[in-house]
Structure 1
Amino acid sequence: MSGSPTKRINMSDVARAANVSRPTVSLVLGGNYSTAHISQETRERVLKAASDLGYRRNALAQAVKTGRSFTLGFVSLGVWTEYETLWLLGALDEAEANGYTIKRYRLYNNPGDAQTIERIIEQQLDGMIAADDSRSWATDIVNRQFAAYNIPLVWLDPQKPLHSGVRICPDHEGGSFAAIQHLATLGHRSVAFVGGIQGVGTGVPRLAGFERAAREMGLKTHTRWTDWGLANFDIEDLMSQPDAPTAILCQSDPLALGTIQLLFRSGRRVPQDVSVVGYGDLANMAMMSPPLTTLHVPYTEMGRTAVERLLGLIQSPDTASLDEEIVFPSPLVVRESTLAPTQAAL
């Protein structure tokens, strides 16, 4: 026979145990003790009583009282990737530190996405973070629908032009410029850019930075697009060109690793014959063979900042329509996949 159900502890129980009024307990547990001039001793007594009794906040009652759910949404518009995981980890850390939880959603770039967006709206979340991989058709719908229901929204690295709202991005173009500057300093005079899909996503600003740097430094250039598949990348065609590149900048770290693999298979060594630079500084890049020189994108910090700015929008709804872009530097991390070109390669 099962025992009696455990009694739910409420604020009145905590107040009796701490010998204070219920409003005092509400102020302390709600984090508003400083404005009410509640002493440190009283605050500690209330917190100890709550802990000893096993008090848990009634989230539903709190939502009814404040008009907030203390829940944020994180929606991914496209394929889930490692960098989106890092964004989410940063967002979770910042949300938890501020007493919020996060629900994760994913759009699949199909008609079912409209129902997912409707469900998000129905759940009355306090705000949303949207991560856009540039291949989703839903960007405009998300912007329009959330604005219509006054849901605060922060974008992580949107790849389509947005002219309002808060946008948090890495310095794609500046990172590429720094990579080519590094290669030129080593003595490379012919460089290549290897990207995913032409005209789409981060490949656009990263190619722009590559081209601007090469132009300013008087370097010869080559460009190849892989559609994110190594089977579509003819390394021999690239390396047999007149003024073949002695260094390659890739749009992403995984693409850089694949390029290194193709170079090895073709009998070329990295970095002795060809230098390779990645983009992202994802997990274990320092443990590759050779350790990968790459551009570091602070994905986790971007996730934290997204929540920080979103909470600001929630606290000040009149700022929800502002036009703001926060750009994080993408510094170069030099490891062992880049080297000065040999005389034979020049």
Structure 2
Amino acid sequence: MLKMSDIARHAGVSPTTVSFVLNDGPEGERISEQTRQKVLRAAEELGYRSNHLARAMRTGDTRMLGLLGGRSAEEQVGRMLEGALIAADKEGYTLKLLRLDAIDNSAHQAIRRASELRLMGMIALHLPASILNELHIEAAKYNTPLVVLDAQYEMPDVAQVTSDDVSGIEAGVAHLVALGHSRIAFIGGLTDTLTARKEAFEAAMSRHGLAIETDFIQNSHFRLRETSLAAARALLCRESHLRPTAIFCSGDLIALATLQVAAEVGVRVPHDLSLVGFANLTASEFATPPLTTIEQPFTEMGKVAVETLLGIISSRSNEGSTDGKKSQPFIKRVLPTQLIERASTGRIAR
């Protein structure tokens, strides 16, 4: 087995110098660049490979992060994971994905698993509010840095990364109003994110001086196609003068279901009905007609979540020992959304 002394002899330096260079610690700053390169060349020539596990056991710096939750088969989750992996890899960290069902939907088990894996921090993605609250408590108890990704409700002492849904809703409403629409309906839902978007829609309509008819707000769900179809039918299966002229859907999949219902009942998009989605999933561009939607920067959100978590870890490290409880400052990073105009919206028919 290759030893430090072997590399030292090959490079013509002391074993201590080799240790300082290869362990990349603060002591290595005293080594000249010429000597450092000599050691690295010798290590490469002899086939040296750094033992990250041994170093992690010795220093506690495993350079491993955890991401809990999220359905990886969903496009928006996949994009956020991509961004998170890019950011983690850039800084030399590994990202471990933890499935919620694999830990019996338990926040306590999640933190216990994080401890077993010696994770340096965790990102929580799309967790139910009850589990997220428990995770917050457990993370504070075990001094585990935590970042909440893509959630629309605030928690004290927890860093959050999300998209600017309020501005996105405002942009969508303003777009429809500019096209002459005033009878605008909304399909939201009962999850925290969909409820927040519904409230943003109501506020945007109020700012434009527009009333919302009593039954023009319907509830659906991101993942439940039948509830989306039912909500769309409730708005479109009525006499033409009672229908909305535009529908703002709180998610692209809901909008795609609404497009299907419109075709079934003979409502032409955008001639009879303008339609706006939210997310800008790939399918929205391939819809007939292509869907106007609000784009969320999912990949960037994943990147920023990792960068925020690493910032917290670094600040704690700079404070000194992590044996005592460290308070985590409240950080909220809100990334901009963007209106993507396509063919599903048009001027109101006169």
Q: TM-score, normalised by structure 1?
A: 0.85
Bigger shift: 299-308 or 15-24? 15-24
* Partner in structure 2 of residue 115 of structure 1: 109
Amino acid at match of 2:193: T
Shift of 1:283: 2.9
Pair 1:231 & 2:221 matched: no
**Preserved contact between residue 125 and residue 149 of structure 2 (Cα < 8 Å):** yes
Whole-angstrom distance in 2 between the partners of 1:262 and 1:23: 73
Aligned-pair distance for 1:65?
Answer: 3.0
Deviates more, 1:108-117 or 1:86-95: 108-117
The corresponding residue for 1:204 is 195
Q: Which deviations, in whole Å up to 9, do the C-alpha atoms of 1:111-137 show, x marking residues without a partner?
A: 55243442223332111111134x352
SS of match in other structure, 1:316:
helix
Q: Conserved in 1, the CA contact under 8 Å of 2:160 and 2:332?
A: yes
Distance 1:22 1:161 in 2: 52
For residues 189-338 of structure 1, what are the structure 2 equivalents within 5 Å?
189-195=182-188, 197-198=189-190, 200-221=191-212, 222-228=216-222, 229-232=224-227, 233-239=230-236, 240=238, 243-317=242-316, 320-338=327-345
Name the residue aligned to 2:322: none
Equivalent pair of 1:159/1:202 in contact (CA under 8 Å): yes
| Matched residue SS, 1:323 | coil
Pick from 58, 67, 74: which aligns with 2:67? 74
Q: Residue 204 of structure 2 aligns to a residue in which SS?
A: helix
In 2, the alpha carbon distance for the partners of 1:247 and 1:137 equals 35
Asked if the contact 2:64–2:94 (Cα under 8 Å) also holds between the matched residues in 1, the reply is yes
Query: Which residues of 2 match residues 74-223 of structure 1 at below 5 A?
Result: 74-76=67-69, 81-108=74-101, 111=104, 113=106, 114-133=108-127, 135-195=128-188, 197-198=189-190, 200-221=191-212, 222-223=216-217
Partner of 2:50: 57
331-340 or 25-34: bigger deviation: 25-34
Tell me the secondary structure at the aligned position of residue 98 of structure 2. Answer: strand
The CA deviation at 1:85 is: 2.1
Shift in alpha-carbon separation, 1:64–1:185, aligned structure 2, 3 A? same
2:192 match: secondary structure: coil
Whole-angstrom CA distance in 2 between matches of 1:42 and 1:33: 16
Contact 1:271 1:336 survives alignment (8 Å) = yes
Indicate if the aligned counterparts of 1:193 and 1:224 stay in contact, CA closer than 8 A: yes
Give how far 1:23 is off: 4.2
User: 1:189–1:59: structure 2 CA closer, same or farther, 3 Å change rule?
Assistant: same
Structure 1: any 5+ residue segments left out of the alignment? 1-6
Deviations 1:146-194 (A, max 9, x none): 1111111111123444111211111111110111001111111211111
Distance change >3 Å, CA 79–CA 308, structure 1 → 2: closer
Looking at structure 2, the residues matched to 131 and 121 of structure 1 have their Cα atoms a distance apart, in angstroms, of 19
CA-based RMSD of the aligned residues comes to 2.7
C-alpha distance in structure 1 between counterparts of 2:199 and 2:105, whole Å:
35
Which stretch of the first structure deviates more once superposed, 18-27 or 270-279?
18-27
Deviation at 1:103, TM superposition (A): 0.9
Provide the rounded CA distance (Å) in 1 between the counterparts of 2:63 and 2:8. 24
Asked if the contact 2:233–2:261 (Cα under 8 Å) also holds between the matched residues in 1, the reply is: no
CA change 1:119–1:16 in 2 (3 A) is same
**SS of equivalent residue, structure 1 residue 137:** helix
Q: Give distance in 1, aligned partners of 2:162 and 2:247.
A: 24
Structure number with the higher helix fraction is 2
Q: Secondary structure in 1 aligned to 2:308?
A: helix
Question: Gaps (5+ residues) in structure 2?
Answer: 320-325
Which amino acid letter does the alignment assign opposite residue 234 of structure 2? D
Matches within 5 A, 1:30-49: 30-31=23-24, 36=29, 38-49=31-42
Relative to structure 2, which stretch is displaced further, 173-182 or 269-278? 269-278
Shift of 1:81: 3.2
Cα distance in structure 2, aligned partners of 1:29 and 1:297: 42
Take 2:102 and 2:270, find their aligned partners in 1: how far apart are those partners?
A: 39
Equivalent residue letter for 2:90: A
CA distance 1:185–1:107, change in 2 (3 Å) = same
- The separation in 2 between residues aligned to 1:207 and 1:40, in whole angstroms, is 59
> Helix, strand or coil for the counterpart of 1:272?
coil
**1:22-37 mapped onto 2 (5 Å cutoff):** 22-31=15-24, 36=29
Q: Distance in 1 between matches of 2:71 and 2:137?
A: 18
Q: 1:283 to 1:237 in 2, by over 3 A?
A: closer
Quickly say closer, same or farther: Cα 1:252–1:235, change in 2 above 3 A.
closer
Question: Equivalent residue for 2:323?
Answer: none
Residue 141 of structure 1, CA deviation: 1.4
- Tell me if the contact between 2:70 and 2:126 (Cα under 8 Å) persists in the aligned partners: yes
Query: Identity of aligned pairs, percent?
Result: 38
For residue 33 of structure 1, report the CA deviation from its aligned partner. Answer: 8.2
In the TM superposition, what whole-angstrom CA distance separates every residue of 1:287-312 from its partner, at most 9, and x where no partner exists? 33322211111111111111111112
How much has 1:18 moved relative to structure 2?
3.6
